[in-house]
Structure formats: structure tokens, C-alpha cells
Structure 1
Amino acid sequence: MRKIYYQKMTPTGYQQIKDQIAALQKERPTRIARLKAARALGDLSENTEYSTAKRELRHLESRLRYLNKQITYAQVIKNDQSDQIDLGSTVTIEFDDDHSQATYIVVGKHEADLAQNKLAFDSPLGQALMGQSAGSTVAVQSPNGSYNVTIKKVK
């Protein structure tokens, strides 16, 4: 029997994927019309408009397949508001070496964006934080070495 791997994500991440799918599906008829118009121009071997329109439609179709697969294998994790860190938790940490603080939302892989303070649960820092609670100090094993962080607050 084949094992199925689910993609863990927050309800917000799931909705973002659904919104992307809806936007791409709205755009699809326009891309198809552009391809038909370019095909009508004649000689396909030297028709740049046709080649470009065909490539853009293939890219859109590929992206739709990818996003639909993400939705199909999604495991939406709803935070139960416990004091332990899980997907969807907002956590404030202090780096022990320089005492700087940072606040992150723990999210699934595809949602991660450090510019928006969204930390992937399977990143080195995310893995160290998962299941911990406020007041704990954890060691983070990263590719560049290890460091300690203290968890200040969990929401």
C-alpha cells in the first residue's frame, strides 16, 4: 500500500491556496482566447505570439495542478489555543546570545515567509519550538551551528 504524505497547514494557508486557484481559474479563459487568436495569425513555426500564449497557458495549467494537489493532500491544523506551540501559534522568543526578541506565527511549509514573520514548523527554529511552552529555553540546531532561544510568550 502506498503511503500518503499530508501537507500540514493553517486554515489561513488553506484559504490562500483556494483563493489562488479561484484567481487562476478566472484567468484561464483569457489565456485560452489569447492562444486561439495567436493561432489564427497563421504560420505556427515562426509565430512568437502563439509560442508565448501556449507557454503561458501551460504554466497556468501546471500551477493549477500543483495547487490542487496541495489542497487534496492538505491537513489543516487548527490551533487549540493551548499553552504549547503548534501550527497557528504566535510565539515571542528571545535569542540568548544578544537578547533580541522576535515574534513569529508558526505555519506550514508553503506559508512560510520570514519577511512577514511566518516561521515554517519544520525549519530548524520551528522544529525546536514545536510542543514547547512559555518559559522554556530550547537549543536550535541550524546548518550554521547551534544557538539557544527562550520562549517568552505563546498565543
Structure 2
Amino acid sequence: MVYFQKMTPEGYKKIEDEIAKLKKDRPHRIKILQEARSMGDLSENTEYTTAKRELGHLQSRLRYLGKQLKYAQIIRAKDDGKVNLGKKVVLKFADDEETEKYTVVGRMEADLAHGKIAFDSPLGQAIMKQKAGTTVEVSAPAGNYKVKIISVK
């Protein structure tokens, strides 16, 4: 069974951009490794060890990101008024007077500091497929709480 990673078109583009950046940096990393190797004894050559490790990290990241794109399922937001991937939502937590703005994204794109919540997080699961005006209960590890969906765009 193949597991597809749901993501927004923006998340897919971000991964493509990172791959392009890493591929552009790879020849430079290879050159550094070759120069360090030419310095002689490899057993005591910290420049060689460091360059080899950094190139390995770069190659590993490229493989990882490549798999993310290979198994990506791009979800485009529908204009149906319901919370879904790619939608922007305004939420009001029951114990707070302020509202919070979030974009619902795929797991790999989630970044709470930038207002991006994963659709499969406890909050994301509770609000998915709901319309503005709905109050939902979120079951989170730290306890349950209520959230009202103010708007969905």
C-alpha cells in the first residue's frame, strides 16, 4: 500500500525550491571534499571528515525531499465554505477573547509559529470539514477545549 503525503500546492513548491537550492550547492560541496582529500592522510584530516559528512547530509536531504514529492498528493482548496487543506481560518478559543488566524496545511508544512496547522493535528482534525459559526471540541494530549470557527476562506 502506497501512502500519499497530503500537501498544498505552496508546500509542494517549497520542497521543489529547496531541492533546486541543494542541487545548486552540491557541486560546491563536492569540490570542497576533493580539495580536502588532496591534503593527504585521511585518518587525521578533519576538513575531509567534515566535508564528507556535510555532503552526506546534503545527499540524504535530497533523497528525503525527493520521496516527499514522489508521494505527494496535492490538495487544492475548494470554495465550499468548509475547512480543508489550503483554507485560511479564523478561530476563537473558548477561554480567550482574541481570535487566531491559521492556514490548514499538510503535515510536512505545519509551522505553528507562522500560523500553519496540520490537518491531522488534534486542532486540525476537529475543524476539518466544518463551516464558519461551528463550535467544535478538540481532544488534545493536554486536555479537551472548545474552539469556534469564525471564518473560512
Residue 71 of structure 2 is matched in structure 1 by: 73
Residue 154 of structure 1 is matched in structure 2 by: 152
Q: How far apart are the structure 2 equivalents of 1:152 and 1:80?
A: 18
Q: How far apart are the structure 1 equivalents of 2:148 and 2:29?
A: 51
Give the ranges of 4+ consecutive aligned residues of structure 1 lying more than 6 Å apart after TM superposition. Answer: none
Residue 95 of structure 2 is matched in structure 1 by: 97
1:100 CA displacement: 2.4
Q: How far apart are the structure 1 equivalents of 2:75 and 2:138?
A: 24
Q: Which runs of 5+ in 1 are unaligned?
A: none
Q: TM-score, normalised by structure 1?
A: 0.97
Aligned residues: 153
Residue 118 of structure 1 is matched in structure 2 by: 116
Q: TM-score, normalised by structure 2?
A: 0.98
Residue 34 of structure 2 is matched in structure 1 by: 36
**Per-residue CA distance 1:89-110 (angstroms, 9 max, x = gap):** 0000111122321010000111
Amino acid across the alignment from 1:78: R
1:85 CA displacement: 0.5
Residue 23 of structure 1 is matched in structure 2 by: 21
- Over the matched positions of the two proteins, sequence identity in percent amounts to 58
Q: How far apart are the structure 2 equivalents of 1:90 and 1:45?
A: 54
Q: Secondary structure at the match of 1:87?
A: coil
**Per-residue CA distance 1:65-96 (angstroms, 9 max, x = gap):** 00000000000000012101000000001111
Residue 43 of structure 2 is matched in structure 1 by: 45
Amino acid across the alignment from 2:25: E
User: Which of 118, 132, 135 is the matching residue for 1:134?
Assistant: 132
User: Which of 81, 84, 93 is the matching residue for 1:83?
Assistant: 81
CA RMSD of aligned residues (A): 0.6
Q: How far apart are the structure 1 equivalents of 2:95 and 2:114?
A: 23
1:137 CA displacement: 0.6
**Per-residue CA distance 1:14-62 (angstroms, 9 max, x = gap):** 0000000000000000000000000000000100110000000000000
Q: Which runs of 5+ in 2 are unaligned?
A: none
